[in-house]
Amino acid sequence: MGKPHTLNAIVDQACLFLVALAALMTVSPLAFAADVTIEQLKADLRSGEPKVRRKAAAELGKTKSREAVQPLLSAATDRDVGVREEVVKSLGLLKDQEALTMLLTTIKDPADSVREESIIALVNLYADRDARSVITRTAKKVYKTVNLFRDPVGDDPTVIEAYVQVAPMVIDSIADRLVDSNLGIRLDAAKALGILRARPAVPRMLEAMKTGDANLRIAVLRSLYKIRDTSVDEPILVYLNDSDKHVRDETIVTLGLFRSKRALADLKRIYDQNPDTKLRLKAFQALALIAEPSTLDLFQRNLRDPDKAYRMAAAEGVGRVGELSLVEEVSRTFLDEKDTGAQLAQSFAIYRLGRREFMDRLVSGLGERMYHEQAMAYLLELGTPVVSELVRHLNHENAVVREKLCAVLGLIGDSTTIEQLKPMLRDSNAAVASEAALAIRRLGARS
């Protein structure tokens, strides 16, 4: 049996422990722990076991530390596909521009999974940049949104902010994947080009539509709308006669969102030749978006249609045409209307026809859970001219309304709106204050 410790010996050991602990505490505990972790992960990245290297590559991305970038770049040519895939994923998570050159190499990797992850990582370098701490509750749906109101241009409406500049070599490298041997990667490339607002890639996107399958044509159409190059309406007219129903539907939607006058004759033909079908409704909704005065009688006839979707589109069409003589007729339909969505559409129309008091109904719609996106879309469409009216509602009693107003103003306001939003930073509701902060950041970046 060993010799028992004396009390003095125990005290001496305790003192030594405290001295050592005090020395350690002179270094930031978090920094010390992070250094140890990253150093260990760096070592694991050089392990002879692929499984260990894969895990290290994945964990380095989760550290969100710039110190992880260089070791990951060194491992990007690892002989193991799984390691290369995890490296690229982590580089995307770290969002460091130093990774750009390497990602432009890995996007040509022989492995499908590495090429796919490279596209995602390149998009991540630009999406949400400098906004990690201000993505608010409303922003989850609104931030970088293409078209809030019943937007059929894709399940993911994400686009980067207009002021973010994407390197031409990134656009070219992603566009090269439009003819990738892997069909899934072609789709990823088409979607990525839309998110990045890659206008220079539009000719190659149109070319890809000629040779790709139906899914690729749909993905390209959705991305073309995000890019907002309305000059493509003529080359996509041909897809109104596509053999695939879903491509035809998407083409109708896109031409409507582009407000394409060239599409009017074809859309009228589709409307006339397809009674009581979903295709007819899509054509009608597209016509309502284009709102050519020659179609006014069509909208007027549908103001009291039994189908609320037709009533909504009809009211929108009348409002966009701006025929003031119809304001009383639309007002009467509003008084008789029971459906909230149709009421909002009619309010939008009546406001556009000169009845400014209907702005109150649109603003109150921001507080209605099932309809706030519709109300927001109308306010966004009305645009800068209504900013002064919306500012007057920033003291609205409903916090949700205040929150959504901040989001709208961040999208349609200008530098002068910043001062009017600053008091909202002190709002008693945290969601409102967060949305105001995001709006101010966005407006400041644009000014």
What residues does each domain of the chain span? 29-124, 142-228, 383-447
Cα–Cα distance between 73 and 98 in angstroms, integer? 9
- Find out whether 175 and 198 touch, Cβ atoms under 8 Å: yes
- Find out whether 417 and 110 touch, Cβ atoms under 8 Å: no
In 3D space, the residue among 146, 179, 174, 181 whose CA is nearest the CA of residue 160 turns out to be 146
Could you read off the pLDDT of 366-413 as tens digits, one per residue?
A: 999 899 999 999 999 999 999 999 999 999 999 999 999 999 999 999
Band of pLDDT at residue 358, cut at 50, 70 and 90: very high
**CA atoms lying within 13 Å on the CB side of residue 221:** 34
Q: Which CATH class is domain 383-447?
A: mainly alpha
In 3D space, the residue among 120, 109, 111 whose CA is nearest the CA of residue 61 turns out to be 120
Could you read off the pLDDT of 427-441 as tens digits, one per residue?
A: 999 999 999 998 998
pLDDT attached to residue 32: 34
Burial tier of 191 (Cβ tally within 10 Å: 0-12, 13-18, 19+): buried
Cα–Cα distance between 57 and 150 in angstroms, integer? 41
CATH code of the domain made up of 29-124: 1.25.10.10
Could you read off the pLDDT of 180-191 as tens digits, one per residue?
A: 999 999 999 999
pLDDT at 8 over 80: no
The two structure tokens encoding residue 4:
């028992």
Query: CA angle 388-316-386, nearest 5°?
Result: 5
Q: What are phi and psi of 92, to 5 degrees?
A: -65, -40
pLDDT attached to residue 139: 41
Cα–Cα distance between 227 and 387 in angstroms, integer? 25
pLDDT at 152 over 90: no
Average pLDDT score over residue span 122-136: 61
Average pLDDT score over residue span 147-158: 46
pLDDT attached to residue 146: 34
pLDDT attached to residue 33: 42
Could you read off the pLDDT of 302-356 as tens digits, one per residue?
A: 999 999 999 999 999 999 999 999 999 999 999 999 999 999 999 999 999 999 9
- DSSP classification of residue 279: H
> For the whole prediction, is pTM greater than 0.75?
yes
Non-local (6+) Cβ contacts of 110 within 8 A are none
Could you read off the pLDDT of 10-40 as tens digits, one per residue?
A: 334 434 333 333 433 333 333 434 454 889 9
Cα–Cα distance between 219 and 236 in angstroms, integer? 13
Q: What are phi and psi of 222, to 5 degrees?
A: -65, -40
pLDDT attached to residue 396: 97
- Find out whether 402 and 394 touch, Cβ atoms under 8 Å: yes
- The dihedral formed by the CA atoms of 273, 278, 280 and 283, expressed in degrees to the nearest 10: -140
Cα–Cα distance between 275 and 133 in angstroms, integer? 50
CA-to-CA separations, 274 to 153, 163, 269, 281, 284, in angstroms, rounded: 23, 43, 8, 9, 11
pLDDT attached to residue 64: 87
CATH topology of domain 142-228: Leucine-rich Repeat Variant (1.25.10)
pLDDT attached to residue 157: 65
The two structure tokens encoding residue 46:
């050089």
pLDDT at 243 over 50: yes
Average pLDDT score over residue span 89-114: 94
Do the two domains 29-124 and 383-447 of this chain adopt the same fold? yes
Cα–Cα distance between 5 and 74 in angstroms, integer? 52
Average pLDDT score over residue span 83-92: 94
Please name the amino acid found at residue 239: Y
Average pLDDT score over residue span 139-168: 57
Non-local (6+) Cβ contacts of 22 within 8 A are none
Could you read off the pLDDT of 277-296 as tens digits, one per residue?
A: 899 999 999 999 999 999 99
Tell me how many helices (H) and strands (E) the chain has.
26, 0
Band of pLDDT at residue 364, cut at 50, 70 and 90: very high
Q: What is the mean pLDDT of the chain?
A: 86
Measure CA 279 to chain center. Answer: 27
pLDDT attached to residue 11: 36
Band of pLDDT at residue 276, cut at 50, 70 and 90: confident
pLDDT attached to residue 37: 81
Could you read off the pLDDT of 163-208 as tens digits, one per residue?
A: 788 999 999 999 999 999 999 999 999 999 999 999 999 999 999 9
Please name the amino acid found at residue 35: D
pLDDT at 129 over 50: no
